[in-house]
Amino acid sequence: MPSAPASCADAHSWFDVREVGQDIHMINEPGHAACYLIIGTRAALLFDSGLGIASISAVVRMLTNLPLLVVSSHHHIDHRGGNADLAAHIAVRDFCAHPAAADGGSGCAHDEADREFLRAYARAMTGVVAEFGRFAELDARYFFTLARVAHPRPLPDLTGWAVGVTPVTRTLADGEIIDLGGRHLEVLHTPGHAPDALCLFERRSGTLLSGDTVLSAAHWLHGPGADPAGFAASTRRLVNLPITRILAAHNIVCELPGHAAGEVARAAAALLEGTTTVTSGYDMLGHPVTRHECGPVTLLTPPSI
């Protein structure tokens, strides 16, 4: 097995782990990224591995000893940062992703993270965690919306933080069914946020694992490879599925009702039609964006759109 990467935080204090469905565990880095472990009778599947700041393999091994598939919702580092730790500690059966991630097409390779990006992320999130303190104080005084959610984790010393190369060993075709024994997950290619974006759908329970395609808040359509028209087509496709619940990868609220997919699809259609409410703003990392509001949904595009 490859050597283990540095761990910057203790897994028990970094992750918030809870069962969010029958044998579906949310392994959350609160305020950062949420991963999901789905356990069948013969195998388990981890959908995303987070930032790689603490050892996610330690959490996975507390929950299951079954053979493990790791599926990346897309190549962004906050979704595959723990792959190296998993490769070092668990005999992962396969690291699975969209074909573009395996051949490096469309800039989707699972390559080493740029150190400057990691530093920028750490700086930005340190600011967000500090702002959250003020938000939580007001909430505890007046609004009481945060009582049941995990608060964003303060960032530890990230001097040793790195996200290295962990090769993709299996590509997933659109429509492919992953059989974990007693439960089946359908692979959906959903380009838009990123060219290699995947969702997984469990038809029996109506559960959609949405990655960054359906979120409770701002959807990023301004990064390299993002495609608003593709996003509209992908989310329109989700509306035709019998989704009752969505498990998303970001924000304080990661569990969404099934109709959230329809709200995002409507917003994406409105964006193409030019009927969203448009303002200028910045994303969390300080990049300028155009903000498109439609109902409860926010979409971010490059400033020129």
Q: Which residues bind Zn ion (CB under 5 A)?
A: 76, 78, 212
Q: In terms of CB distance, is 85 or 212 closer to Zn ion?
A: 212
User: Shortest gap between Cβ of 182 and Zn ion (angstroms)?
Assistant: 30
Q: Which CB atom, from 29 or from 78, has the smaller least distance to Zn ion?
A: 78
In the complex, minimum distance from the CB of residue 78 to Zn ion, in angstroms, rounded to a whole number? 5
Of the pair 78, 263, the CB lying nearest Zn ion is at 78
Taking the complex as a whole, the smallest distance from the CB of residue 210 to Zn ion amounts, in Å, to 11
Residue 224 Cα to chain centre, angstroms? 17
Q: What is the 3-state secondary structure (H, E, C) of the chain?
A: CCCCCCCCECHHHHCEEEEEECCEEEEEECCCEEEEEEECCCCEEEECCCCCCECHHHHHHHHCCCCEEEECCCCCHHHHCCHHHHHHHCCCCEEEECHHHHHCHHHCCCCCCCHHHHHHHHHHHHHHHHHHHHHHHHHHHHHCCCCCCCCCCCCCCCCCCCCCCCCCCEECCCCCEEECCCCEEEEEECCCCCCCCEEEEECCCCEEEEECCCCCCEEECCCCCCCHHHHHHHHHHHHCCCCCEEEECCCCCCEEECCHHHHHHHHHHHHHHCCCEEEEEECCCCCEEEEEEECCEEEEECCCC
Q: Which residue is nearest to Zn ion (CB)?
A: 76
How far is Cα 15 from Cα 59, in angstroms, rounded to an integer? 8
204: left (phi over 0), alpha (psi -120 to 50) or beta: alpha
**C-beta of 66 vs 284, nearer to Zn ion:** 284
Q: Which is nearer to Zn ion, 5 or 225 (CB)?
A: 225
Name which of 183 and 219 has its Cβ closer to Zn ion. Answer: 219
- Least Cβ distance, residue 12 to Zn ion (angstroms): 24
Q: For the CB of residue 73, give the shortest distance to Zn ion in the complex, in Å.
A: 8
Q: How far is the CB of 193 from Zn ion (least distance, A)?
A: 6
Query: Which residue lies nearer to Zn ion by CB, 123 or 204?
Result: 123
Pairing of strands 184-189, 177-179: antiparallel
Which residue, 25 or 219, has its beta carbon nearer to Zn ion?
219
Shortest CB 299 distance to Zn ion, Å: 14
**In the bound complex, what is the minimum distance in angstroms from residue 209's beta carbon to Zn ion?**
13
